[in-house]
Structure 1
């Protein structure tokens, strides 16, 4: 029997790039419903909170990331999820948020979570509630952000090579990109990269140049995924 709860909640799709793979933060539920199952982090909106404040608070509680007016990384609202049977406790409307954040530490469980961990997006377990749907929306939004913004550069060190940047795109898009074509696109996009005078020596062939992130926040023209399919990189590696 469904409960009598009527509430508004927030669920977070927290993504980062670790070891050249796109990773998702999941929590193991420490209380019913779905006790012991994996789920997206989240929580109910407190009476004094706006939605984004709940999202920012829960992001900080689960990750230790800086929160408040200046979240380190990217935080944006995805969509609302309000199917009548999505929560056995009652009618719970959840608002999804995407948190796409670099340099994330090992997580510490917050709220009612029994455990938390980073999972490669391609190997996530079954999720509680309707969280697989929310996750799908979040991953697609993150992938599209790299088409139209310079967000990928925030996942690189202060000075980086074009290959470093390409690996971020390949991790998020799960696609193998042509190195020469990628270099031509990113170095010809105004405001994306600023070349330094430093070359990386010690390797074979022509030493690559180091770049810094430019002042642009949007890409003109965009870095479209073109015909890349989600399994392109896996197919290329077989």
Structure 2
């Protein structure tokens, strides 16, 4: 007897996008309102299926970002692959999620199968009061954690500051992304101890309280040495939740 010939399972491939930026000193994620079923009307990440077997996955991600949100020219990196059975009611769908973390992104413009597009604070997007389609809450949480880690080990935070900035302004970026309050003196010491992270830049600037503040600009390095480890910055006033979160990061 001959065994039945093997047939590959029917699997659809999709690309989803976690686009993060700072707006009003808060970390925001780009979301769209789905204009079609399934989950019509629900909030979701921009994304969609590959057009055909010839389309590159990153090309599909960029096409979806342009079609669903009107955004282009952002640096994308692969975040992860999500393919659990049952994650999409239309069948077996494997999604390759992409991440972008960029400053000063414009207002999105909805198109194709997105009824609307908007920026939403990540803590609101991940709250129990917001219905997200598919497993997009998990994908967003993974993207936020990647962003927080990148601030530990890279000079990404300086991209969200002006050409010159104060230590306080840099600290505000870390606080917005990490979601914790930082002790200014400890933060200043850690930043200055990371070689080539920032360099002095010209005369002092007067702050809102009238005190002069030293100006800096981004330094020559991209990888921080030593890194800005989150757990080292958590202070007692952050409370047990923040302490647990920071400790969990170091154990993961």
- Give TM class, smaller chain: 0.7 to 0.9
Residue 63 of structure 1 and its aligned partner are, at CA, apart by 4.5
Distance 1:214 1:63 in 2: 33
**Superposition map of 1:50-69 within 5 A:** 50-67=56-73
1:75: Cα distance to partner? 2.3
Counterpart among 180, 188, 201 of residue 206 in structure 2: 201
1:95 aligns to 2:96 (yes or no): yes
Q: Report if aligned partners of 1:5, 1:89 keep a CA contact under 8 Å in 2.
A: no
Could you tell me whether the CA contact under 8 Å between 1:9 and 1:93 is conserved in 2?
yes
> Which consecutive residues of structure 2, in runs of 5 or more, have no partner in the other structure?
1-8, 243-252
1:104 is matched with which residue?
Answer: 105
Distance 1:64 1:191 in 2: 36
Q: For residues 48 and 111 of structure 2, what CA distance do their matches in structure 1 show?
A: 10
Q: Secondary structure at the match of 1:13?
A: strand
2:55 to 49, 52, 75: 49
Which runs of structure 2 are paired with 1:8-47 in the superposition (5 Å)?
Answer: 8-47=13-52
Q: C-alpha distance in 2, partners of 1:130/1:164?
A: 35
Q: Distance in 2 between matches of 1:110 and 1:232?
A: 41
Residue 77 to residue 202, structure 1, CA distance change in 2 (3 Å): closer
Contact 2:68 2:114 in 1 (8 A): no
Q: Residues 27-64 of structure 1: CA distance to partner in whole angstroms, max 9, x if unpaired? A: 00000111111111111123333222222333344454
Choose 170-179 or 201-210, whichever is displaced more: 201-210
Q: Judge which range, 219-228 or 170-179, deviates more.
A: 219-228
CA distance in 2, matches of 1:201, 1:136: 38
Work out whether residues 63 and 104 of structure 1, in 8 Å CA contact, stay in contact via their aligned partners in 2.
Answer: no
Aligned to 2:217: 212
Give the distance between the partners of 2:63 and 2:221, measured in 1 at CA: 29
Partner of 2:165: 160
User: After superposition, where does 1:124-163 map in structure 2 within 5 Å?
Assistant: 124=125, 125-163=130-168
Q: Which has the higher contact order (CA 8 A, sep 6+)?
A: 1
Q: Distance in 1 between matches of 2:81 and 2:207?
A: 51
Map of 2:196 onto structure 1: 191
CA distance in 1, matches of 2:222, 2:141: 25
Unaligned ranges ≥5, structure 1: none
In 2, Cα distance between the equivalents of 1:37 and 1:27?
Answer: 8
Counterparts in 2 of 1:202 and 1:222: CA distance versus 1, 3 Å: closer
Larger radius of gyration between Structure 1 and Structure 2: 2
Q: How many residues align?
A: 227
Partner of 1:123: 124
Q: Secondary structure at the match of 2:152?
A: helix
